[in-house]
Amino acid sequence: MATMKYAGISVEVDDEGYMTDHSQWSEDIAQAIAAEEGIKLTDDHWQVINILHDQMNTKEQLPTIRSLKKLGVETKRLYELFPGGPVKKASRVAGYLKPASCV
């Protein structure tokens, strides 16, 4: 397991750069991870991140693209916000491990 430094804080990450301890996550860390992904977070990004947090707190699992659509986030918009793998990238920015459903 590796350690990365985001926003001046050392966090444990797996081999793919996903945080292994969500309790270390903060909005500043999210901003730094997003920047590493080439993403500048907007209110729309935060809406998706907050949905991920809500789903983890209530269902203890990350939503799929299909369930995000049911929660009001259109698939096309997800790809615009988090290009190249919206659930993977959103999960990484939100401080979670890569979803099992993502390859």
Return the active site residues: 102
Q: How many CA atoms lie within 13 A of 73 on its CB side?
A: 26
In whole angstroms, give the CA distance from residue 48 to residue 79: 12
Query: Rounded to whole angstroms, how far apart are CA atoms 64 and 48?
Result: 12
